[in-house]
Structure 1
Amino acid sequence: MLLQKDINPALNTVTAYGEHHLEINRVRFETAVCFGPEGPVRSLDLRTAADIDAAFLKALIGLDELVRDPLAFLDDTPPTLPHDAPEVLLIGTGAGQTFLSPEVTRPLLQLGIGVETMTTQAAARTYNILMSEERRVLALLLPGDSHA
């Protein structure tokens, strides 16, 4: 299905999707991908939502490199997020919606980063809307047949 007729070449846009592929900026991908409005589209070696764990999500966003003040627990100050940290992470889990366990999403939610799981088609449409509203969004999309 064609999603976007005209694209801004400076922004990553989901331009189409099908049963076994995604198209970002008119480039076809048949693997899981991760991208935000700007920057590279990264191919990922994920097959299903079951392959996603908390450490993977933290590394994806760059939270694994955060240095926290060892005395921060005294005033319950959360670590400072990277300036380009997303406000929401959209996870497209394939043709069917697969929810991630609370243990997987909790570290991001505790830092104020929203995590939404939905079908890949719904995530692609939602990403385009949020991106067009200039929101800090990150999409992690599995191919359409990848639900677990």
Structure 2
Amino acid sequence: MKLQPDKSDAQSLTAHGPGWVAINNEKVEGSVVVGSRGERFEWNCTRFDQLGAEHFAQLASLGAELVIFGSGSRIRFPQPAWLQPLMSKRTGVETMDTPAACRTYNILAGEGRHVIAALLVEPPEH
């Protein structure tokens, strides 16, 4: 039996490395928000300690069923108060490191779910 991968129309995260991710093979340097329904914009933060409630309120306005927060090279959890706008809209939030968030986003987007990946892409350490 020949198996072929499902074809998805959602943009996908095709690669990642220190200081960058690739969206549909286009290298993007810096934090970014990517959605399965075409959402894509720069996320104005380069380090975890720059994040605040306003970053997550922005995500709540997108109306996704799930937000995957990629917290950078290691897993770090946002303050619970920052997530209140998402919780009030009954939007799920999952936190993981950015490489895991890229993989998880691709699976869920490929299933046709309305998912947002908010990816903290930190500059590489020298």
**Percent of residue pairs identical:** 32
Q: Residues 17-96 of structure 1: matches in 2 within 5 Å?
A: 17-62=16-61, 85-96=63-74
- For the structure 1 residues 18 and 142, does the alpha-carbon distance in structure 2 shift closer, same or farther, using more than 3 Å as the test? same
Question: Aligned pair 1:140/2:85, yes or no?
Answer: no
| CA shift digits 1:2-24 (9 cap, x unpaired) | xxx9975x421001111221000
Counterpart-to-counterpart distance in 2, 1:30 and 1:113? 27
One-letter code aligned to 2:105: Y
Distance 1:12 1:21 in 2: 16
- Which residue of 2 is the match for residue 101 of structure 1? 79
Which structure: larger Rg?
1
List per-residue Cα deviations over 1:59-83 (Å, max 9, x = no partner). 2332xxxxxxxxxxxxxxxxxxxxx
Give the letter aligned to residue 39 of structure 1. Answer: G
Q: Give the distance between the partners of 1:7 and 1:113, measured in 2 at CA.
A: 26
In the superposition, relative to structure 1, how do residues 95 and 145 fare at CA in structure 2: closer, same or farther (>3 Å)?
A: farther
Conserved? CA contact 1:120–1:144, under 8 Å: no
Cα 1:11–1:97 shift into 2, 3 Å: same
TM-score, length-scaled by structure 2: 0.83
Letter in 2 for 1:111: K
Q: Where in structure 2 are there 5+ consecutive unaligned residues?
A: none
Q: What is the number of equivalent residue pairs in this alignment?
A: 120
Is 1:111 aligned to residue 89 of structure 2? yes
| TM-score (ref. length: structure 1) | 0.72
Aligned match of 2:107:
129
